[in-house]
Amino acid sequence: AGIIPEPTGFDVWIACRGSILVTIDVSGAAGHAEMPQPSWREGGAVNAIEKATVVLEAVRRLRDDWRGREDLRHPYVSPTDLVPTLISGGEWTSTYPSSCRLTYVIAYPPAHADAEGWASVVERELGECLARAATTDDWLAEHPPSLVWSAGVTPMEIPANEPIVTTVRATADDLGLGGQVAGLDSWYDGATFTRFASTPAIAFGPSGLDGDRTVAHTIDEFVPVDDLVACSQALAVAALRFCGTAR
């Protein structure tokens, strides 16, 4: 078993979502933006940024569907979500943009993974969504958006009665640290050990809060020193108990 010392606030994380990035390229046809344009079938310009709004709306509807699906619900992590994080388009202020690129980050729970833990089901559903959306627009029907997938990591979950879980939870209680069994809507390294090394790995660690403000992944990221000391004590006691070492 393994313990990943993420700043969990002394909760024991037994699940996390996987994530993957997708870049969606929407094509257009360049032309003079200050000149009236004929139909694209007659050689006129096509605004790729405007065509990208078809993609944005289709993905928004898919996002709502994923969030509401009962089969994607999990006791410790949220349903699948996809968030647009980057957009770029156009070449010049007076030119119809010939391209527009959207980047999304997708986070998905164990129930949305394929048999190997990867995002092939997510990829297929998004691809089908965009293919349907393209049929509603005459330009996109003949020039469909293209998708490039990258940077995938798998979700994970382990049973709440796994020995490493019950040992660490009991130790935290004995030391007065509180906490509960929980999950992470992002990803942590325990997923790699659990899925690919047959080693169930939880996350357990000090607080990552400054008052009510989360400081993880911020410029001034830190953990309180007192929490760090308490976490070190809990890890030592839990390791002794888990390994069966006599007092």
CB atoms within 10 A of CB 231: 23
126-180 per-position pLDDT tens digit:
999 999 999 999 999 999 999 999 989 999 999 999 999 999 999 999 999 999 9
Tokens of 193: 């050990």
pLDDT on residue 212: 66
Domain map (residue ranges) of the chain: 2-14+157-242, 18-153
CATH 3.40.630.10 describes domain 2-14+157-242 = yes
Q: How far apart are CA 47 and CA 65, in angstroms?
A: 28
Nearest to 146 by CA among 20, 21, 23, 19: 23
Q: How far apart are CA 48 and CA 137, in angstroms?
A: 12
What is the topology classification, in CATH, of domain 18-153? Alpha-Beta Plaits (3.30.70)
196-234 per-position pLDDT tens digit:
999 999 999 998 766 667 787 788 888 889 999 999 999
173-203 per-position pLDDT tens digit:
999 999 999 999 999 999 999 999 999 999 9
Does this model's pTM top 0.75? My answer is yes
* For helices 120-134 and 48-68, angle between their N-to-C axes, nearest 10 degrees: 130
